[in-house]
Amino acid sequence: MTRGLLGLVASGCGGVETWFRTDLAEPAARRGWRLAITLTPAVVPWFEEAGELDELQALTDLEIRWNPRMPSQPKPYPTPDAFIFAPASANSVAKLALGIGDNQALTALNEAIGVESCKVVVRPHANADKRRHPMWDTHIATLTRAGVIITDEPPAALLDLLEP
């Protein structure tokens, strides 16, 4: 069963290179999602060192992205039907709440938040110290008001949040 296009986004935290493919990307593909994988630039070397980029690429017919396209280039695919951003670093959560798209991953997510039919799930990866920052609750509230689903569920449970 084909479900549509799922944007999977990852930032550099939480040992993501050890679980992103096995706990999130592969289960999503098994459920029938076509994957559009976008990484923050900081995490790309993690996936490269772990030998995971080729493994991830084998799960999708779309290029894994982290670099922006040139203005003369067309969008490589339409806005996905849904997004899962896991893990989302505290830095990325703050930028997303403020609408800062200073890398390809955040640009795609910021655009998706404005699409009413696109469900966006964010799984922050931030320790207690980062969550005590005076702006943390404001960032989470801003994203929630925008319709973003914020959750601390484990990666395997995130796909269930996309169900109608």
Sorted by sequence, the CB contacts under 8 Å of residue 82 that are 6+ apart come out as 4, 6, 7, 118, 119, 120, 121, 162
Read off the pLDDT band of 1 (50, 70, 90): low
45-104 tens-digit pLDDT: 999 999 999 999 999 999 999 999 899 999 999 899 999 999 999 999 999 999 999 999
Q: How far apart are CA 9 and CA 157, in angstroms?
A: 16
Each domain of the chain, given as residue ranges in start order, spans: 4-65+90-162
Which of 73, 113, 68, 72 is closest to 93 using CA atoms? Answer: 113
Of 70, 158, 156, 75, the closest CA to residue 112 belongs to 75
What is the CATH code of the structural domain delimited by 4-65+90-162? Answer: 3.40.50.1950
Instruction: Specify the pLDDT at position 2.
Output: 67
First to last CA, the chain: 15
> How much is the average pLDDT of 123-129?
95
